[in-house]
């Protein structure tokens, strides 16, 4: 039976070989530094180690941190980004052991194929990793509100948070989080049915003024009150996914058109209460909100306008309204290979085409046909 010491030694040797390959440019020969040749792990100076570690995979960096106290301190001090998505089992225990050491982390990816993380792991992150700015906890089905309470208290500098698929979180816990994490710019709540409610969205609109991207996909408790609160409270919003939010109506889109002047991407898939009124409001907002900019800086405004729209399964829409919107925003394309205006399932909208699709059709028709 192979001893644990032997396994550990093999891990360290493998780790050292990877580090040397990176340092030597994958040549496989020893690394020279100030006249000395590095052939063993103990020969690697700290300054070289800190330059190598960001270039190797996260698993190697973790193993390297266990070589000796010096390496541990150097790596734990210098490592700011870490992904444990490769961990198929025991991720929770791994986080518990690493959080007290990797206290300088700014980005931590804990995406899982099947649920492993528990509240005590998130609490450890909140207790030790106060510099966290980007955190991915997607598909953490085992987490409860205690995790959000801990993050609120320990990680107030979060700017990007992905808790998609975390179905146990409540809107009260999400509201509590926004009271402390007011620097949020990107928030993914896809599938968080209990957390993403009008109450929570009102809190986001009240507290997260810098929010730029929000995913509310398949959060069917979201209604007009919540979306309108977002529109009024988050003027920098650029990307909003409302697919499957079946309760929203034209009032939500009208508020977004009037208040979110930087909106680039909007997903309304399966929002069947949306009518032509919403489409015309988006089209009219382009000129009505910034008449002077529209007149004097047309080219720049083309870049700022709506660039992606999904209205698939919005069966109440008519061709005239959607064509008006398509003509107003040149970046919306229906042509093959570009499809930034998605209309799947809307059989009545087959006549809607972007300008380049129309031009391509005209060009094709002007090509002389060879007589047979």
Q: Which has the higher per-residue pLDDT, 40 or 341?
A: 341
DSSP for 261-319 reads TT--EEE-TT-TT--HHHHHHHHHHHHHS-HHHHHH-HHHHHHHS--EEE-TT-TT--H
Structure confidence by residue, pLDDT tens digits, 143-200: 999 999 999 999 999 999 999 999 999 999 999 999 999 999 999 999 999 999 999 9
Bigger pLDDT: 1 vs 129: 129
CA–CA separation, 55 vs 36, rounded Å?
23
Q: Taking 80 as the threshold, does the pLDDT of residue 46 lie above it?
A: no
333 within some domain: no
pLDDT of residue 22: 62
* 74 assigned to some structural domain: yes
Asked if residue 142 has pLDDT above 80, the reply is yes
Contact between residue 195 and residue 166 where contact means Cβ atoms under 8 Å apart: yes
More confident residue, 328 or 28: 328
7, burial (CB in 10 Å: exposed 0-12, middle 13-18, buried 19+): exposed
Which pLDDT does position 25 carry in this prediction?
A: 61
Residue 49 has pLDDT above 70, yes or no: yes
pLDDT at 369 over 70: no
pLDDT bracket for residue 228 (50, 70, 90): very high
In a domain? residue 150: no
Domain presence at residue 69: yes
Mean pLDDT of the chain: 87
pLDDT of 272 higher than 80: yes
- Tell me the residue range of the domain where 60 lies: 39-79
Is residue 56 a part of any domain in this protein? yes
The more confidently predicted of residues 316 and 360 is 316
pTM value?
0.86
In a domain, 202, yes or no: no
- Whether residue 221 is contained in a domain is answered as no
Which is more confidently placed, 151 or 360?
A: 151
Q: Looking at 249-263, 290-304, 343-357, which range is the least confident one? A: 290-304
Q: Does residue 4 register a pLDDT over 50?
A: no
pLDDT tens for 275-298 read 999 999 999 998 776 554 444 444
Across 42-48, average pLDDT: 73
Q: Bigger pLDDT: 3 or 249?
A: 249
Distance of alpha carbon 71 from alpha carbon 45, whole angstroms: 9
pLDDT of 247 above 70: yes
Q: Per the domain annotation, does 54 fall within a domain?
A: yes
Q: How many domains does the chain have?
A: 1
SS3 content of the chain, % helix, strand, coil (to 5): 45, 10, 45
| Position 7 confidence tier, pLDDT thresholds 50, 70, 90 | very low
Render pLDDT for 75-129 as a digit per residue (tens, 0 to 9). 888 899 999 999 999 999 999 999 999 999 999 999 998 999 999 999 999 999 9
């Amino acid at each position: 039976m192979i001893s644990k010491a032997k396994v550990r030694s093999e891990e360290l040797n493998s780790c050292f070989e990877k580090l040397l390959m990176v340092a030597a440019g994958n040549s496989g020969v020893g690394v020279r530094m100030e006249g000395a040749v590095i052939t063993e792990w103990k020969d690697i100076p700290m300054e070289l180690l800190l330059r190598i570690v960001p270039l190797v995979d996260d698993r190697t960096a973790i193993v390297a941190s266990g070589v000796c106290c010096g390496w541990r301190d150097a790596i734990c001090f210098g490592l700011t980004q870490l992904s444990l998505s490769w961990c198929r089992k025991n991720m929770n225990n791994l986080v518990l052991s690493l959080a007290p050491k990797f206290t300088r982390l700014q980005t931590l990816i804990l995406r899982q194929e099947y649920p492993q993380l528990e509240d005590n792991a998130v609490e450890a992150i909140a207790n030790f990793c106060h510099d966290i700015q980007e955190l991915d906890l997607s598909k953490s089905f085992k987490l409860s509100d205690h995790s959000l309470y801990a993050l609120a208290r320990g990680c107030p500098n979060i700017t990007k948070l992905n808790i998609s698929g975390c179905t146990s979180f409540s809107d009260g816990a999400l509201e509590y989080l926004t009271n402390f994490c007011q620097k949020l710019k990107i928030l993914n709540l896809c599938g968080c049915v209990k957390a993403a409610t009008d109450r929570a969205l009102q809190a986001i609109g009240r507290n997260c003024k810098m929010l730029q991207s929000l995913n509310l996909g398949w959060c069917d408790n979201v209604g007009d009150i919540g979306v309108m609160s977002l529109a009024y409270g988050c003027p920098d919003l650029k990307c909003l996914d409302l697919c499957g939010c079946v309760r929203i109506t034209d009032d939500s889109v009208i508020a977004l058109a009037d208040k979110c002047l930087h909106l680039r991407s909007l997903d309304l898939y399966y929002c069947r209460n949306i009518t032509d009124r919403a489409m015309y409001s988006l089209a009219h907002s382009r000129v009505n909100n910034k008449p002077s900019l529209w007149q004097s800086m047309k080219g720049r405004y083309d870049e700022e306008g709506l660039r992606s729209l999904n209205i698939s399964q919005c069966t109440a829409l008519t061709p005239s309204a959607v064509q008006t919107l398509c003509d107003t925003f040149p970046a919306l394309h229906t042509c093959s290979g570009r499809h930034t205006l998605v209309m799947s399932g809307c059989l009545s909208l087959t006549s809607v085409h972007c300008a380049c699709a129309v031009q391509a059709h005209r060009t094709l028709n002007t090509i002389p046909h060879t007589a047979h």
